[in-house]
Amino acid sequence: MNVIDVARAWRDQDPDDETRAELDHLIADAEADSTQALNELHDRFDTRLEFGTAGLRGRTEAGSNRMNRVLVAQAAAGFAAFLLSRTSLNGAPSVVIGYDGRKNSRVFAVDTAELMAGAGVRAVLLPRLLPTPVLAFAVRELKLSAGVMVTASHNPAKDNGYKVYLGDADEGSQIVPPLDHEIAAHILAVATNQSVLQLRRSMDYEIAGEHVIDEYVRRTAALATHPKSALRYVYTAMHGVGWETAHRVFVEAGFGEPTVVALQIEPDAAFPTVAFPNPEEPGALDLAFDTAITADAELVIANDPDADRLAIGIPDVDGDWHRLSGNQVGALLGWRAAERLAAAGTPGTLAASIVSSPALAEVARHYGLAYVDTLTGFKWVSRVPGLSYGYEEALGYLVDPAKVRDKDGISAAVEFLGLVADLKAAGRTVTDHLADFAGRFGAFASAQISIRVTDLSEIPRLMDTLRQSPPERIGAAAVRRIDDFAEGFGGLPASDILRLWLEDGSRVIVRPSGTEPKIKVYIDASSVEGTPARRQAVAQATVDRLEAGMRAIFA
């Protein structure tokens, strides 16, 4: 079957007027010998969006390589078949479904609820658009078999996605291999053997009660124990769905009303004020910093669009503002968690992904706590046995594993607000606390490089080149050892990761991104020489040299 016939067959089962019209135009142009239209059809239909541990994520358009109602229906029916093939601890399989404010998120969620119910799976739909952490919480709170969150998190505005969680023994964590392959096989069977128009739908699904959200708010607010100081702080939802829930939590926790970034506070699928709705991106927090200067604030709190990530902004001594790195926030929250465990005399485990700073491991060593490195992704961090606190450098923090088994930007915000309130009561600032960290544990510096590609085949080629011809030096520093995770390493599952250790103890990690068309390079160095300021300067200088060296390698 040629690509035009494939596109026509897809169109004929598509329940969405907009994407059917897209295909009508492309098919007509391709039949009129438009090379551009034919190439577009090949791009949309020569492959499928791959279902993996992060679920599905892609541009919202027609085609098997895009996010649309046909693909979501196939995913929902396949996931339902997977759930029906498993034994649930609570009888018949069940699923809770949440959605954010992106284009078609509610449509995809309702489709999923109808198809799950039609397949015989108890389906519960969250009552409105809500943050991802609320969905992750609901899987455990409602004691259900699974969860689905329709979100593309911090991806570009035209993307959407489909994240999957498992309950029962998985305790509300995201899926890990080989379960992703099992689910993908069920989805492919649906896509191969049935039109989505033949799938049974049912309106017999439930709407979750407000008590689920109320309990999330109550338990999250309880993380703060009577803040010691009032704070002037700014909050931005980055055009996402965090504000309603975060606002309730902040007020109930005793932090009062934040000053909001008015242009970014309500959900807006167009994300009009940011090029990428990701607080890590340059310029993404500019409006928040402008608001903070006007409001004479002490702190900026930013969630990404589905509120599972947290960014922190603080003022410099000269009045300018900057964002703390994910590693800085992760280390400070880890220090707070370790102090709490030490004060209670309670054993615990700290964990971070291997691309995160070694700083947390040093905190764990200092306090006599267990520490675990995981592969990248919270699906791994959240599954660490006995976990007390975990983070990954990409602004993801898990501060309350008893409540949510995923990164949670609202819970982490409460913890950081509590930290700043405690520091203020003691006459200290976040900047002071970072210096204290360097004095106690050593200074840690990090950098990250993203090598974007337009052709996805470039990623394996670049990784193979590094494996076949690894650098002997990065800048002036000799490479001492290379750890290749392709076949598994250090007890971790196989993964496309290279870790290069330098002669001075610094390291460079290279891996493909799991959600975007790019290779990511992570650089870390540390120092215990001299004063805290001297330590930081030495570590940062090492990172700067390694960054220049890696940019030269990929030039």
The residues annotated as belonging to the active site are 153
Alpha carbons within 13 angstroms on the beta-carbon side of residue 478 total 2
Alpha carbons within 13 angstroms on the beta-carbon side of residue 89 total 12
Task: Please give the sequence-ordered ranges of beta strands (E in DSSP) within 282-362, or none if there are none.
Answer: 299-303, 310-315, 321-323, 349-353
Are 377 and 278 a contacting pair, CB within 8 Å? no
Measure the CA–CA gap between 182 and 339, rounded to whole angstroms. Answer: 42
Amino acid identity at 521: V
Measure the CA–CA gap between 393 and 373, rounded to whole angstroms. Answer: 13
**Torsion 288-293-295-297 (CA) sign:** positive
Amino acid identity at 517: P
Helical residues (DSSP H) of 296-375, grouped into ranges: 326-344, 359-367
Are 65 and 48 a contacting pair, CB within 8 Å? yes
Query: b or e along 325-359 (b: 16 or more beta carbons within 10 Å of the residue's beta carbon)?
Result: bbbbbbbbbbbbbbeebeeeeeebbbbbbbbbbbb
Measure the CA–CA gap between 127 and 198, rounded to whole angstroms. Answer: 27
The pair of structure tokens assigned to 217 is 């708010």
Provide φ and ψ at 108, rounded to 5°.
-65, -35
Neighbour-count burial of 526, counting CB atoms closer than 10 A to its CB (0-12 exposed, 13-18 middle, 19+ buried): buried
Are 75 and 128 a contacting pair, CB within 8 Å? no
Helical residues (DSSP H) of 159-202, grouped into ranges: 179-193
